[in-house]
Structure 1
Amino acid sequence: MLKKLLASVGIGKATVDTLLLTDELIAGQTFDIEVIIKGGDVSQHLNGIELAIMAQAKAESEVGDEEVTYNKNVVLQHWLQELNVEVQPQETITRHFSLDLHSEVPASSFHGQQIAKVWLQTGLDIKNGIDGSDNDPLTIHPSPTQLAVLEVIEQSGYSLFKIDLEVGGVRGENFSSHLPCYQEYEFKQQSRSLFGAKEIEVTFVDNGHETGVLIEIDRLFLGDGYRSISIPNHCSSIEQVRPYIEKIL
């Protein structure tokens, strides 16, 4: 009885560990995982496994007369895998799953550097108990189309100086985002540059077939302006995407 009571408040309960079978990802890709459940000190009924793609994004809130920026954990995707099994003390249950990463999930790695916190969170839905949980960081790279766009801008005389993940959504001509956050690549003008802009901010919205590119341009004396275009995802080289970017800049 004491063990059951302790398990109900999280002591001696079943635990979960998730193994990523695909080390590096691109948004829109299918990846495989192995979920290992280890029974605790008493038998417990498992209703199911909850899986979620999470990200940490910047959010803003007004406190009095001031605007405060803080980090917020947001859910990008969510799955519930039904189990409805009884896990016995110290028993090990293993399940394999294939998950489809949303095409708009932000990149977490750029040229070997971490640029955002994105992870897979695994939880156990335990009857009359506190969920066990496990967090696994995800390494997600920009798509070839996105990399080509960023390279075109750099070759045009701009240097990438900041990458942000922000709460909210974006909209361009013929496309709009669907996740609760968006990623922004910010470039600054070098001594010699094309397009006559002081700063350029780039956001991508990939629908799986084409990539929407939203660009905010800060031109000296003219202020900010927005341009957008959609690029087919089969355009993955600098030569292929350059005409699209030059068309709007």
Structure 2
Amino acid sequence: MVFKKMLSALGVGGPSVDTVLANPNTRPGLALDGQVHLLGGDAPASIEQITVGLVTRVEIEGGDSEYAGIMEFHRMAVSGPLELAPKQQLAIPFQLPVPWETPVTDVYGQRLHGMTMGLRTELAVARAVDKSDLDHVAVHPLPIHERILDAFQALGFRFKHADLERGHIRGVQQTLPFYQEIEFFAAPQYAQTITEVELTFVTSQRGVDVILECDKRGGFLSAGHDVFGRYTVSHADADRADWVQVVDGWLRETTSRYGSLRAQGFGAPHGYGHGHGRGHGMGGLVAGAALGAAGGLVAGELIEDAFEGDFGDFGGDFE
């Protein structure tokens, strides 16, 4: 009996958990529907809580080094305390809202190289080892994202890589403790001015802040440097503009100034209101992430390396 209790505490013969998503594909601002399936073990089990949460890989700077960590950034309780009988089967439905700022992982039906996203289920078992499950999730762009990404492709930019950087961009209202950078090699018509462009979307229910970071080439007597542009568009603008022309205008304006962060609002066709601040390098724009729970979000909880093996890169470039 003592041996069985010891095995149960180690998770042997205990309850198991398996989450089944109705559809692993979603978009920012929508929801993930699914069921948590429980199977009782060899003995009765007291379940303290069942939670589901979105997890992803984030690049984190520490001193002079940078490393990747698996971060849970959004969590919801599916069930409170319950008793699970031996071999009992139980299915608990849930609907998890997807935050508006959730980064895009899949474009044109392919995984963005460098991006991972999963739904983690945690089963907290009294006096025993907690159980968990991880399911892959695909986050697709909203229409406004698609129009802007389509414009980059139409202008000849080639996708390079995407990742998440821990921190906040100054002057931009963020709820998550990281931001996404989608990197492109410069299109031929811009190659004499810039080498690469990093595109960041910070999305809300109202619209999107679009931040551009252009790696500007140096001249005969000047060194290369990064320049920045910030532009604000609403979701309603997705089908109201020639986005190739708009994005081309953003790029030309951004690269025409040294280290400028310009704030633009999408008003009359191709007419914008301006305001700007100075900053050199992303260090001038990024503030450190403040950790702690806010608005129901788990802001920056690094979870165990046990999930690292499930978070291999998927390949499949955005072309």
Normalised TM-score (structure 1): 0.89
Matches within 5 A, 1:82-121: 82-115=79-112, 116-121=115-120
Determine whether 1:211 maps to 2:212. no
- Seen in structure 2, the aligned counterparts of structure 1 residues 10 and 83 have a Cα distance that, compared at 3 Å, is same
Q: Deviations over 1:37-76 (max 9, x none)?
A: 10011001112201110001222333xxxx3332201111
Q: Give deviations 1:185-231, integer Å, cap 9, x for gaps.
A: 11222332399433211100001220110111222236211111111
CA contact (8 A) 2:192 2:217 kept: no
1:41 corresponds to 2:64: no
User: RMSD in angstroms over aligned alpha carbons?
Assistant: 2.1
1:229·1:244 contact (CA, 8 Å) conserved in 2? no
Question: 1: CA distance between counterparts of 2:51 and 2:12?
Answer: 20
Q: Distance in 2 between matches of 1:219 and 1:130?
A: 53
Q: Which has the higher strand share?
A: 1
Q: How many residues align?
A: 243
Q: Which amino acid aligns with 2:86?
A: P
Deviation of 1:242 after TM superposition, in Å, equals 4.5
* From 231, 234, 237, the counterpart of 2:233: 231
Q: Which shifted more, 199-208 or 75-84?
A: 75-84
Structure 1 distance, partners of 2:181, 2:240, is 20
Q: Is the 8 A contact 1:4 1:42 kept in 2?
A: no
Distance in structure 2 (CA, Å) of the matches to 1:85 and 1:189:
56
CA distance in 2, matches of 1:197, 1:156: 14
> How far does residue 19 in structure 1 lie from its aligned partner after superposition?
0.2
State the alpha-carbon separation in 2 of the partners of residues 246 and 108 from structure 1: 24
Whole-Å separation in 1 of the counterparts to 2:50 and 2:110: 31
Correspondence for 2:72? 75
Superposition deviation, residue 244 in structure 1: 4.6
TM-score (norm 2): 0.70
What's 2:268 paired with?
A: none
Residues 3, 41 of structure 1: 8 Å contact kept: no
Distance 1:50 1:21 in 2: 17
Unmatched runs of 5 consecutive residues or more in structure 1:
none
Q: Distance in 2 between matches of 1:17 and 1:203?
A: 34
Aligned partners of 2:206 and 2:234 also within 8 Å? yes
- How big is the shift at 1:3? 2.4
Q: Retained in 2: the 8 A contact 1:157–1:193?
A: no
Distance 2:96 2:66 in 1: 33
SS of the residue corresponding to residue 146 of structure 1 reads helix
**Distance (Å, rounded) in 2 between the aligned partners of 1:157 and 1:36:** 47
Partner-residue secondary structure (3-state), 2:238:
coil
- Mean Cα displacement is larger for which, 195-204 or 127-136? 195-204
Q: Does the CA contact (< 8 Å) of 1:152 and 1:238 recur in 2?
A: no
- Report the CA distance shift for 1:192/1:241 in structure 2 as closer, same or farther (over 3 A): closer
- Structure 1 distance, partners of 2:24, 2:204, is 23
1:240 Cα deviation (Å)? 4.9
Pair 220,57 (structure 1): closer, same or farther in 2 beyond 3 Å: same
Q: In the alignment, what sits opposite 1:58? A: 59
* Structure 1 position 150, deviation (Å): 1.8
Match of 2:22 in 1: 21
**1:128 counterpart = 2:91:** no
**d(CA) in 2 for partners of 1:234 and 1:240?**
14
1:205–1:27 distance in 2 versus 1, CA, 3 Å: same
